[in-house]
């Protein structure tokens, strides 16, 4: 019995492009025309993203550049804006993670066995060096803690609501490092970069 020849990954790209599918259009897992199997998905993304430079890009811009390139590689039209869906590419059931470090963190949700995780490795020169695609069940084997990592974000908008300053001065531990007589009420945002001196509240 002769083995079937390997599937050309580009056949999926051509079919997706010809059908005009978006990344949000649902595809049945295993669909012979439009569902890209994990090995072929990895081959396409590794070939299409490797060498892409992300040097000098802010994190948010870098994320959009990567997602835009993923769309182009897989034959999808680039959306005007990427929706905050879970996963980010629901049609093919995968999320992208662009990082230099080895400690993958999936924020605010449990690992899903059915989902695929596209791990994009970036070199020290901020160039994509390799792409690996793993399924949630494989990734779960590497999770030794079982801890759900949560990310919290907060923003302060002065003047929008009445606020209360609990302490009029900094703590004793912090006082040696800040300018005297600083008006804490003039600081616009808690995320402003710290500085020392008479103009540190501006």
Q: What is the pLDDT of residue 99?
A: 83
Give percent helix, percent strand, percent coil of the chain, each to the nearest 5. 25, 15, 60
Sign of the C-alpha dihedral, residues 100, 104, 105, 111?
A: positive
> Does an H or E element contain 129, and which?
strand 128-135
pLDDT tens across the length of the chain (202 residues) = 444 445 789 999 999 999 999 999 999 999 999 999 999 999 999 999 999 999 999 888 999 999 999 999 999 999 999 998 988 999 999 989 888 876 665 554 556 667 898 989 999 999 999 999 988 776 755 555 555 444 555 555 656 566 565 666 777 777 777 766 655 555 555 555 666 655 544 4
88 burial type by CB count under 10 A (0-12 exposed, 13-18 middle, 19+ buried): middle
Report how far residue 133's alpha carbon sits from residue 39's, in angstroms, rounded to the nearest whole number.
8
Q: What is the pLDDT of residue 3?
A: 44
pTM here is: 0.66
3-state helix/strand/coil string of 58-106: CHHHHHHHHHHHHHHHHCCCCCCCCCCCCCCECCCCEEEEEECCCCCCC
Q: What is the pLDDT of residue 175?
A: 74
Is residue 165 left, alpha or beta, with left meaning phi > 0 and alpha meaning psi from -120 to 50? Answer: beta
Alpha carbon of 13 to those of 50, 75, 94, 111, 130: distances in Å? 18, 5, 16, 27, 20
């Amino acid at each position: 019995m002769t083995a079937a020849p390997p599937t050309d990954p580009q056949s999926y790209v051509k079919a997706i492009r010809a059908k005009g599918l978006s990344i949000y259009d649902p595809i049945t897992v295993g669909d012979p025309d439009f569902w890209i199997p994990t090995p072929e998905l990895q081959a396409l993304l590794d070939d299409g993203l490797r060498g892409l430079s992300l040097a000098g890009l802010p994190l948010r811009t870098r994320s959009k550049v990567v997602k835009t390139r993923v769309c182009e590689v897989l034959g999808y039209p680039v959306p005007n804006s990427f929706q905050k869906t879970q996963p980010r590419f629901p049609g093919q059931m995968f999320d992208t993670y662009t990082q230099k470090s080895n400690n993958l963190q999936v924020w605010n949700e449990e690992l899903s066995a059915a989902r695929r995780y596209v791990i994009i490795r970036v070199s020290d020169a901020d160039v994509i060096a390799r792409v690996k695609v793993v399924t949630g069940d494989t990734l779960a084997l590497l999770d030794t803690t079982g801890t759900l990592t949560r990310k919290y974000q907060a923003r302060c908008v002065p003047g929008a609501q009445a606020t209360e300053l609990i302490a009029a001065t900094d703590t004793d531990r912090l006082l040696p490092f800040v300018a005297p007589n600083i008006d804490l009420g003039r600081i616009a945002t808690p995320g402003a970069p710290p500085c020392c001196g008479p103009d540190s509240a501006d």
